[in-house]
């Protein structure tokens, strides 16, 4: 029998079965048995949903960062099948691949966990990056979350004729364009999805190394180098250390350097951007050997010219200049939900738009926002599906 025919029927049947099994009439003991049974079925549903012949699910989540995982965890807890699409080859790439080694969560752990699974009590108050990644991995195992990796979404629109979202994906392994569809689409593509390097005259001519803060891991390899960090505030130095260039256009400092691992390079150790921002804004130096420079005017070869008319030679430039969001480039019909910059609009409900479109983690509320959005969206989806709409 052609899987095209039996897979949707199997999904429908299993979904109905799960609905019945989760009825409150069951006792605690029965519920425990049913829960394990449900997890088995959710896995089966995921496998069915992921088969190449069936690229349709009630819900599609785009992005496997903390917001996408929070939504997936809540949907799993409600036994609602979904597909989760991720453009990279790993979950939460901002944490697994694009952040510096000594990063810790800069908010206390009680504000950073995901729904239905608190951090282990053995974790410190400010969770280090490695432990946070382990926690996310455990979360995925617990809720049977299996993202489809290497699949950047390149286009999505609502097809009025069939009342479904069409989601086109470039499979970067096979180089093919795959088409998925769903009734409910959750965009969890992150506020920090694409590194932003501002236009600087002559940057192409820079003879040294240029990197965005997402590429910075530690000070290893920067020993004895003249390093310019753009976007980290104000600080003066006479030596060849890190120079912080202050620019009004810089809106966010996302990564920073760690002194312990930096060898002879003069770097500052900070756990989160607020610390740097506030210290610098008040004119308090982070370290006596670092220097604050005004905004960059232009670059020629190794020489960087600043707005005060002075210039200095550098070997490395690190742009800690934040991110942009590209979601609106591929997502059509989201104007009621997202502003031009890809952030959630405030009203009436910042996580829910028209035609079954949702967004998670785009309202500038950090990890606690990711948790709340995941819970709200999953509960709303449950209500929508039980009403048989949209
Ligand atoms: C260095 C750093 C430290 C932070 N520390 C904290 C903290 O301590 N506490 C706190 O509350 N917040 C913190 N934040 C802010 C925020 O909580 C994190 O950015 C968090 O990762 C946001 O999760 P997210 O899932 O919304 O976005 P992301 O983690 O950015 O995940 C988005 C996902 O979507 C994928 N994606 C994007 N576009 C596509 C596409 N077209 N197709 C398929 N997949 C796509 C991305 O690859 C990514 O996996 C920090 C941010 C940074 C940068």
Query: 159 and 232 share a domain?
Result: no
pLDDT score of 297 more than 50: yes
Query: 252 and 241 share a domain?
Result: yes
Task: With cut-offs at 50, 70 and 90, classify the pLDDT of residue 247.
Answer: very low
Query: 144 and 209 share a domain?
Result: no
Amino acid 241: pLDDT: 40
Query: 107 and 61 share a domain?
Result: yes
* Range list of β-strands (E), 147-295: 153-159, 164-171, 176-187, 194-195, 209-212, 227-230, 242-245, 291-293
Residue with tokens 């052609």: 2
Q: Please report, for the domain that includes residue 62, its CATH number.
A: 3.50.50.60
Look at residue 6 and tell me if it is in a domain. no
Look at residue 25 and tell me if it is in a domain. no
pLDDT score of 34 more than 70: no
Quote the mean pLDDT of the chain. Answer: 78
CA of 73 to the centre of ligand 1 (A): 16
Ligand 1 contacts CB of residue 367 (under 6 A): yes
Task: At 62, give phi and psi (nearest 5°).
Answer: -105, 115
Indicate the top mutation candidate among 62, 73, 83, 94 to test ligand 1's pocket, ranked by most ligand atoms within 8 A of CB. 94
pLDDT score of 49 more than 90: no
Query: 319 and 235 share a domain?
Result: yes
Query: 332 and 309 share a domain?
Result: no
Query: 302 and 367 share a domain?
Result: no
Look at residue 308 and tell me if it is in a domain. yes
Query: 187 and 199 share a domain?
Result: no
Average confidence (pLDDT) over 114-143: 97
Amino acid 9: pLDDT: 53
For the chain, the domain total comes to 2
Look at residue 8 and tell me if it is in a domain. no
**Following DSSP, what letter does each residue of 105-170 receive, concatenated?**
-SS-GGGTPBTTBPPPTTS-SS-BHHHHHHHHHHHHHHTT---B-S--EEEEEEETTTTEEEEEEE
Sign of the dihedral defined by the CA atoms of residues 161, 356, 21, 67, in that order: positive
CA of 241 to the centre of ligand 1 (A): 31
| Boundary residue ending a domain (323, 356, 375) | 323
Ligand 1 contacts CB of residue 133 (under 6 A): no
Pair of tokens at residue 188: 């969890």
Pair of tokens at residue 45: 């549903």
Short-list 264, 268, 288, CA closest to 276: 268
pLDDT score of 240 more than 50: no
Among 101-115, 153-167, 241-255, name the most confident range.
153-167
pLDDT score of 371 more than 60: yes
For ligand 1, atom 7, name the residue with the nearest CA.
Answer: 105
Among 30-44, 137-151, 344-358, name the most confident range.
137-151
Ligand 1 contacts CB of residue 203 (under 6 A): no
Look at residue 113 and tell me if it is in a domain. yes
Ligand 1 contacts CB of residue 93 (under 6 A): yes
Q: What percent of the chain is predicted at pLDDT more than 70? A: 69
Look at residue 40 and tell me if it is in a domain. no
Task: With cut-offs at 50, 70 and 90, classify the pLDDT of residue 387.
Answer: confident
Query: 189 and 63 share a domain?
Result: yes
| Boundary residue ending a domain (277, 300, 323) | 323
Domain that holds residue 89: 55-193+325-386
Query: 231 and 147 share a domain?
Result: no
Task: With cut-offs at 50, 70 and 90, classify the pLDDT of residue 10.
Answer: low
| Boundary residue ending a domain (323, 356, 373) | 323
Indicate the top mutation candidate among 61, 71, 83, 87 to test ligand 1's pocket, ranked by most ligand atoms within 8 A of CB. 87
Amino acid 217: pLDDT: 86
Amino acid 176: pLDDT: 96
Task: With cut-offs at 50, 70 and 90, classify the pLDDT of residue 314.
Answer: confident
Look at residue 10 and tell me if it is in a domain. no
Query: 181 and 209 share a domain?
Result: no
Which residues lie across from 170 on neighbouring strands? Answer: 177
Query: 260 and 243 share a domain?
Result: yes
Look at residue 27 and tell me if it is in a domain. no
Ligand 1 contacts CB of residue 270 (under 6 A): no
Coil vs helix vs strand at 171: strand
Ligand 1 contacts CB of residue 372 (under 6 A): no
């Amino acid at each position: 029998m052609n899987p095209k025919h039996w897979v949707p029927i199997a999904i429908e049947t299993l979904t109905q079965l799960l609905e019945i099994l989760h009825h409150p009439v069951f006792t605690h003991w029965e519920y425990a048995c049913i829960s394990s049974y449900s997890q088995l079925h959710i896995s089966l549903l995921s496998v069915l949903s992921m088969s190449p012949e069936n690229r349709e699910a009630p819900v599609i989540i785009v992005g496997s960062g903390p917001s996408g995982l929070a939504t997936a965890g809540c949907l799993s807890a409600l036994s609602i099948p979904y597909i989760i699409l991720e453009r990279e080859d790993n979950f939460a790439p901002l944490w697994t691949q694009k952040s510096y080694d000594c990063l810790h969560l800069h908010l206390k752990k009680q504000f950073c966990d995901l729904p239905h699974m608190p951090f282990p009590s053995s974790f410190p108050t400010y969770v280090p990056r490695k432990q946070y990644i382990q926690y996310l991995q455990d979360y995925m195992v617990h809720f049977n979350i299996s993202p489809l990796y290497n699949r950047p979404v390149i286009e999505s629109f609502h097809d009025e004729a069939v009342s479904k979202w069409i989601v086109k994906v470039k499979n970067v392994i096979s180089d093919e364009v795959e088409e998925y569809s769903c009734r409910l689409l959750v965009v969890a593509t992150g506020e920090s999805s694409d590194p932003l390097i501002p236009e600087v005259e002559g940057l192409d001519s820079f003879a040294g190394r240029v990197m965005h803060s997402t590429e910075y891991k530690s000070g290893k390899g920067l020993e004895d180098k003249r390093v310019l960090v753009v976007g980290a505030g104000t600080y003066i130095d006479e030596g060849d250390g890190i120079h912080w260039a202050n620019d009004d256009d810089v809106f966010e400092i996302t990564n920073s350097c760690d002194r312990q691992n930096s060898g002879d390079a003069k770097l500052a150790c900070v756990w989160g951007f607020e610390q740097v921002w506030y210290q610098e804004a008040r004119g308090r130096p982070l370290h006596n050997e670092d220097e604050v420079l005004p905004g960059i005017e232009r670059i020629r070869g190794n020489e960087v010219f600043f707005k005060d008319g002075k210039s200095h030679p550098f070997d490395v430039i690190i742009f800690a200049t934040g991110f942009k969001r590209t979601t609106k480039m591929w997502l059509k019909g989201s104007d009621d939900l997202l502003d031009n910059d890809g952030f959630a609009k405030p009203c009436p409900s910042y996580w829910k738009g028209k035609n079954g479109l949702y967004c998670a983690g785009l309202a500038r509320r950090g990890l606690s926002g990711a948790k709340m959005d995941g819970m709200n969206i999953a509960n709303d989806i449950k209500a929508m599906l039980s009403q048989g709409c949209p």
